[in-house]
Amino acid sequence: MSFVLSPRTVEEAVGLLAELPDALPMSGGASLVAMKNARLIEASHFVSLAGIASLHGITATDTGLRIGGMTRHAQLAACDLLTGDLSMLRQAAGQIANRVVRNMGTIGGAVGNADPAADYLAVLACGDAHVELTGTEGSRLVAMTDYVTDWYETLREPGEIVTAIHLPAARPVPSVYRKLCRVPGDYATASVACASDGDGVRVAVGACGHGPIRSREAEAALRGNLRDPVAIAAFGAALADLADPVDDVRGTSEFRLRLIPRMVAAAISDLEGKR
Amino acid sequence: MHLEGEFTVAAPRLTVWQAVHDPALLARCVPGCEEAAQIGENSYRAVVKAKVGPISARFTLVVDIVEEEAPDRLRIKAQGEEGSRASMLTAESELALSDDGDGRTRVTWASDVNLSGRLGKYGLGLMKKKAESLSAEFVTAFSRRVETGEVVE
């Protein structure tokens, strides 16, 4: 049996997690409760973050946007602040699972769980997002491109919670999230987030390794060559080289490696069409 | 799930052969191994904890050497379950040792692992990645301990 605790502040929540070694933080519970029901996880207590006011909502900051960890997928899918190069986040949120899950699930929970096939990681890596992690020692920011360290392993220490996601302010240039999945709402077989950046692009590939794949080197080489199919193919191949996909029901590793250059080229072409 | 690999150890074949029969040494090389003991002439018992993200499992394994040709080849069967009997694991592995020149030994291994029960529901693709990284950790630890002469007996 597990108990649910409902702290009212972040300090209280991280205090409980520090005190109870077998407790787990719970935000929306969309994945966590399903995993608990399948007896995949055990916890003495679930520390619910739902009642902590400071974790809810999206606010403009001096540098951009702060998205509270308890912000639901459905709120992001309908958020008017996510325009231009941040519209890919809105697109990704709207493609997660189904309406029930989008009403329950949160960005903090999804980032905390760090499922490699889930939709946010690629978008946040592409969008130069930072993850705000809070523990009893206080808060720290880590770049999304550094955050995932192995399969379901991240820089988040046990006892820390994802209190917010920070994004730079939206710029008025197009962005796109492309997801290949077996049926709408499935986890991605492969995904690509792509945002315009002057005469270049920022691109991150999802679901093809333990974390999102991004190469600033390859992006620099592509700069100024967005109309050159050879340069785009080389860019896609460079990202595929960094991938380490699994073989699973959604596709073989080989299939995913072939998808990457095609999906990257398609995403770049989407952006060219939106200019 | 099929896994295979090979690695070389900078130690003679006989030393490596002794090392793969030494439960105390192996216990210190297997990631997550909490205890290991010899329970019969060719039989060992081990408790191994594994973790993938929020999911963790503690298996009690019985490992039997079912065939061996010293100091070349070894066939091992492992069987075990979680404490709560929620998952079963069986593995059949083969290990071959050969001289690699300069007192080095090449170890070639292959393993077929089956997982059923609650953990069987979890993606095998991911389990394979995890198993591969655990294997790599084992190889590093094993080579280092054998090469620095840390063979217990």
- Map out the domains of chain B as residue ranges: 2-147
Each residue's pLDDT tens digit, A56-102: 999 999 999 999 999 999 999 999 999 999 999 999 999 999 999 99
Give the relative orientation of helices A253-274 and A229-241 as an angle to the nearest 10 degrees.
140
Residue A75 in 3-state DSSP? helix
CA distance A115 to chain B (A): 9
Chain B residues with CB under 8 Å of A249 CB are 123
Q: Which of A149, A167, A140 is nearest to A63 (CA)?
A: A167
CA distances A47 to A126, A131, A133, A161, A186, Å, are: 31, 20, 16, 10, 28
Mutate to test the interface with B, among A33, A246, A249, A253 (most CBs of B within 10 A): A246
pLDDT of residue B151: 52
Q: Which fold has domain B2-147?
A: Alpha-D-Glucose-1,6-Bisphosphate; Chain A, domain 4 (3.30.530)
Q: Give B129's pLDDT tier (boundaries 50, 70, 90).
A: confident
Strands A45-48 and A3-5: parallel
Question: Which architecture does CATH list for A175-274?
Answer: 2-Layer Sandwich (3.30)
Q: Would you tell me which residues 55-114 of chain B have a C-beta closer than 8 angstroms to some C-beta of chain A?
A: 55, 86
A35 to chain B, any CB pair closer than 8 A? The answer is yes
Which parts of B53-118 are beta strand (E)?
55-69, 73-82, 87-99, 105-117
pLDDT of residue B150: 66
pLDDT of residue A42: 87
Q: Would you tell me which residues 2-31 of chain B have a C-beta closer than 8 angstroms to some C-beta of chain A?
A: none
Each residue's pLDDT tens digit, B16-73: 999 999 988 988 999 999 999 999 999 999 999 988 878 888 999 999 999 999 899 9
Q: Is the ipTM of this complex over 0.95?
A: no
Interchain pair A39, B118: CB under 8 A: yes
Token pair belonging to A118: 């889930």
Interchain pair A248, B130: CB under 8 A: no
Boundaries of every domain in chain A: 175-274
Token pair belonging to A179: 């997801």
Q: Give A256's pLDDT tier (boundaries 50, 70, 90).
A: very high
Each residue's pLDDT tens digit, A126-137: 999 999 999 999
Each residue's pLDDT tens digit, B75-119: 999 999 987 668 899 999 999 999 999 999 999 999 999 988 888
Read off the pTM: 0.90
Contacts of B84 (CB under 8 A, 6+ apart): none
Each residue's pLDDT tens digit, A167-226: 999 999 999 999 999 999 999 999 999 999 999 999 999 999 999 999 999 999 999 999
pLDDT of residue A196: 97
Query: What is the Cα–Cα distance from B48 to B83, expressed in whole angstroms?
Result: 11
